[in-house]
Structure 1
Amino acid sequence: MGQKALRYRGRLYLDGEWVDGPDRTTVTDLAAGGAFAEVAAAGEDQAERALAAAESVKRPLRETTIPERVRWVEQIAAGIAERREELAEVIVREAGKPISSARGEVESAAERFRRAAEEIRAMKGEYRTGTTEGHEGWRAIVEHEPVGAVLCITPYNYPLATTALQVAPALAAGNAVVLKPASKTPISAAILAEIIADTDVPDGAFNFVPGPSSAIGDYLAGDDRVNAIAMTGSSSAGEHVARESGMVELHMELGGNAPAVVFEDADLESAASAAAKGSVKYAGQRCSAVSRVVAQSGVHDELVERIDRELDDWTVGDLFDEDTDLGPLISESQAEWVDELVTDAVDRGADLVRGGDYEETAAGVFTYEPTLLADVPHDARILHEEQFGPVAAVTSVEDEAEALALVDESDLALDASVFTNNHDRALRVAGSIDAGAVRINGAPSHGLGDIPFGGNRASGIGREGLHETIKSFVRKKSIVL
């Protein structure tokens, strides 16, 4: 499939109108090199217009019915399905994702809109009676109403699926949405805006405001017309937004440094396969990626050998080849960051088993070799900081207590996994690890969001998943008789 230079020239979508901004952002083609698209970049004037539009429709949206909102999200799901191949190609080019993974992301996005319809239908009110002395005759109807306006801040690594996970529940719950996508990957979100513009979603209920965080991020996050913020991104960015936002509902899924704890009684073949895939899938650019493998000393060496063999199957290739597993990193700066962490580990005494280098391709994008580190010292930065690269870092511990102590040293507490054939140990260790989700005998995975996920400490606030997210975007009102 040939490159289509500047095929997309997206604009802002504000209060039901397509408008230009004061600047434009060029989007790099990570499959073929060069630029393949550009999108208008908003300034404060456009951010203000988006906020004003959202404010103006809060009351009308509150009065819409569930069947109306179900129709909106089902129309959006149908629009995504209709443009699935176009969206998949865009995700390949803007995010550097292999075509098979990109198609999966598009299907996931459509399904999230469909399931948002199911979730909002199931959200019923309550009827309560007074049970304390003096309130015997009280009767109350407890309703769910939208919080108002939701600011959605989305990441580059899942530019459509994560956007769907935020926008679908917000619209289904009757809120106005202001969407600010990642500047590196705004085109799939721009197509989503086109899809929404062709539905029955009222003008002002959805506003698309791409642009650099330095220009509009604080302006949007700090405005008191925003009632909730949904954000997926780095911990440092999340902390900054939280400081700016004030008294709003915060819903943040932030950085990860997921450990895979492998005990001596584990199925090592299964553990190695999960550790390899969990480390390098989408070049490790996932918050739930296995960032460190904490192996009991008796199986460390064998586990490293097995992971090394598993990584033989992960090679960089043509992103439009159905058999390609691995693509480039999002940018040169990301490749440099991963290399900095790998170099730090090696300088501290880690054994570089394979990989450990990056290169610029003829297309001008940057790939990092699938990398395996063994005997990583406990003070190496890669065991404590988010790497976002295709690196499996294996370290050794003597026992369960040492494993738990090491796992919890990182401030990042999003995901973890435990590999053992001892049922009691599995539940005991999973219960002891400080993380939002712990998977037993498998790599972390958030899937469609059927199961709540989210981080503790520096890894976030609240829980995601369609059911959980919708609950964050409504508030209870008691009407007492």
Structure 2
Amino acid sequence: MSESSLSQREELYIDGTWRDGDDTIPVRDLAADGTVGEIAAADPDQATAALAAAERAESAMRETTPVERADWLESIADEIEARADELVDTIIREAGKPISSARGAPAAAAKRFRRAAAEARDLSVNHGEYREGSTAGHEGWRAIVKPEPMGTVLCISPYNYPLQTTVLQIAPALAAGNSVVLKPSSKTPLTAAILTDAITTAVDLPDGAFNFVPGRGSEIGDTLAGDDRVDSIAMTGSSGAGQHIARESGMVNLVMELGGNAPAIVFPDAALEDAAGACTAGSVKFGGQRCSAVSRVLAHESVHDELVDRIERSMDSWVVGDLFDEETDFGPLIDADHAEYVDELVDEAIDAGADLVCGGERDGAFYEPTLLANVPHDARIIHEEQFGPVAAVTSFQEESEAIELANAGELALDASVFTTDHDRAMRVAEAVDAGSVRLNGAPSHGLGDVPFGGNGASGINREGIHSTIEQMLRTKSIIL
């Protein structure tokens, strides 16, 4: 096992300077016993100071040009690539990702910054309008409708993709000319600290334009979200946390990707081997700790048993081992408490009548890749976000029953439909309530070139580099 090169004590970054905090948060090393480092914990006064600094920087940011901001984003991408090894090592340890998965994170983050740079340049070309009055009394009106930054964007990032998802919030905010206050997950703050250092090393931003305030959500979350200086909030997290932030924030622009409970609907004419592979990967990749994870497999009763057999064989090929081993596909969950929650959902499903095909064992934060068959429709695991490595397979008889089951509940982020019938694929995709529906593949949000986001309790507005930039701009009409 690789020895940790990290034992750092990271600080806050407020108004252009690194600062200490009165308290610290230890960060557990999921690749080994002990801790990988610790992070300063901001208190409410420091969170308020970050917001004040961001507000002061708004005028300087508004005066920057799209070309200047695009150059910033390109330079940040270069710095991230230069620090790839450090970022990969940190992600493995604090997030528990196998190296085979973590290695691609810096390159994906750099691509997001470069795509945001291209979008920033496009602001000068394809954004803004010229309008003329078209109603009685306004015939002579002429107006320029121009985009401008929102002001200050609060970015609240999750633990499961501590680099890529964080960048998907920050890069659009900077591209649009906003000040940023970043509040990372207290479970994976070290990656965000390295990202902050990369940003502030690569670019001479106006003081206060970028602020980094790690800390406990219970202590600074409401201070940040409820402050009138925040103009927009970009958040990825649980539905409960998102709803709380929305209540606290009041009249601000919200861009939220929240909980998911993606159904994969498998019809009799589907290519079952492909469907089994996609459902397995969709369920157990990164321990199922993804908003877009396949949380439940809805299989037609005529193929239920065969699909379960194929998923079991596919699941057997996933390698559990040392996170620094190139062959390892699968590691621990973020902590023991979450593993206990997954275990509770599995046990309740079995008690309700589901068949445990494989897995189902917990050891601390580690939970085995698990396959359940014949899961009753009313089992909690069918209706709740599990965020765990469980493929829960249930059956349906008619297409209408599958759609009804897929649409049951408040979560509506992603879904998949597996069929070789084009008309049925389109019909079901349109009937399923979800922000994104993937045909014959597991849900995936990729680099953000295709808009994604949830309905209902799964979020508000749409993300993706282009889509998020649009959400982080407002328009001003200047009547000539």
* TM-score normalised by structure 2 residue count: 0.98
2:267 matched to which residue of 1?
Answer: 263
Q: Is the 8 A contact 1:156 1:185 kept in 2?
A: yes
Counterpart residue identity of residue 184, structure 1 = K
Alpha-carbon distance in 1 for matches of 2:218, 2:339: 23
The amino acid of 2:133's aligned partner reads: G
1:292 aligns with one of 282, 290, 296 = 296
Question: How far apart are the structure 1 equivalents of 2:156 and 2:88?
Answer: 21
Tell me if the contact between 2:308 and 2:373 (Cα under 8 Å) persists in the aligned partners.
yes
Letter of the structure 2 residue corresponding to residue 153 of structure 1: I
Say whether residues 1:415 and 2:414 are aligned partners: yes
| Change over 3 Å in CA distance of 1:5–1:450 after alignment to 2 | closer
CA contact (8 A) 1:5 1:35 kept: no
1:250 is matched with which residue: 231, 251, 254? 254
| Residue in structure 2 matched with residue 463 of structure 1 by the alignment | 462
Task: Using the TM superposition, give the Cα deviation of residue 131 of structure 1 relative to its aligned residue in structure 2, in angstroms.
Answer: 1.9
Q: CA deviation at 1:6?
A: 5.1
Shift, 1:133, TM fit: 2.5
Q: Aligned partners of 1:186 and 1:11: how far apart in 2? A: 10
The CA deviation at 1:4 is 2.9
Amino acid at match of 1:62: R
Match of 1:189 among 180, 189, 192: 192
Structure 2 equivalent of residue 95 of structure 1: 95
Segments of 5+ residues of structure 1 without an aligned counterpart are 361-365
Q: Is the 8 A contact 2:60 2:206 kept in 1?
A: no
User: Per-residue displacement from partner, 1:304-335 (whole Å, max 9, x unpaired)?
Assistant: 00000000111311111112100100000010
- Give SS of 1:57's match: helix
Aligned to 1:214: 218
Corresponding letter in the other structure for 1:386: E
Number of residue pairs matched by the alignment:
476
- Cα distance in 1, alignment partners of residues 106 and 337 from structure 2: 27
Q: Which residue of structure 1 aligns with residue 78 of structure 2?
A: 78
Which moves more between the two structures, 314-323 or 295-304? 314-323
Amino acid at match of 1:339: D
Q: Residue 3 of structure 1 contacts residue 36 of structure 1 at CA under 8 Å; is this kept in 2?
A: no
Paired AA for residue 274 in structure 2: S
Say if 1:412 and 1:459, in contact at 8 Å, map to a contact too.
Answer: yes
Which residue in 2 is equivalent to 1:454? 453
> Which stretch of the first structure deviates more once superposed, 97-106 or 156-165?
97-106
* Aligned equivalents of 2:325, 2:254: Cα separation in 1: 40
AA of the residue aligned to 1:323: E
Map 1:382-397; keep pairs closer than 5 Å.
Answer: 382-397=381-396
Contact 1:5 1:37 in 2 (8 A): no
Deviations 1:417-439 (A, max 9, x none): 00001000000000000000000
Q: Which amino acid aligns with 2:100?
A: S
CA contact (8 A) 2:67 2:120 kept: no
Shift of residue 120, structure 1, vs aligned partner: 1.6
User: Does structure 1 residue 226 correspond to structure 2 residue 230?
Assistant: yes
Moved over 6 A (4+): none
Structure 2 residues not aligned, in runs of 5+: none
After superposition, where does 1:303-342 map in structure 2 within 5 Å?
303-342=307-346
**Could you tell me which amino acid in structure 2 is paired with residue 367 of structure 1?**
F
Deviations 1:76-117 (A, max 9, x none): 111101001110110000000011211112211111111101
The answer for the alignment partner of 1:142 in structure 2 is 145
Equivalent residue for 2:55? 55
Q: Is 1:283 matched with 2:287?
A: yes
- CA distance in 2 between partners of 1:100 and 1:72 (Å): 30
Deviation at 1:73, TM superposition (A): 1.1
Q: Secondary structure at the match of 2:270?
A: coil
Matches of 1:384 and 1:21 in 2, distance apart?
41
Of residues 177, 181, 199, the one that matches 1:178 is: 181
Contact 1:6 1:35 in 2 (8 A): no
Match of 1:69 in 2: 69
SS in 1 for 2:104: helix
1:161 aligns with 2:161: no
Matching residue's letter, 1:277: A
* 1:214 counterpart letter in structure 2: S
CA contact (8 A) 2:2 2:324 kept: no
Instruction: Please say which of residues 6-15 and 281-290 is displaced more in the overlay.
Output: 6-15
Shift of 1:282: 0.3
- AA matched with 1:42: A
**What is the letter of the counterpart of residue 90 of structure 1?**
T
Match of 2:380 in 1: 381
Pair 1:424–1:143, CA change in 2 (3 A): same
1:41 aligned residue: 41
Please name the residue that 1:347 is paired with. 351
> 2:368 maps to what in 1?
369
Give the structure 1 partner of residue 477 of structure 2. 478
SS in 1 for 2:303: helix
Residues 141, 478 of structure 1: 8 Å contact kept: yes
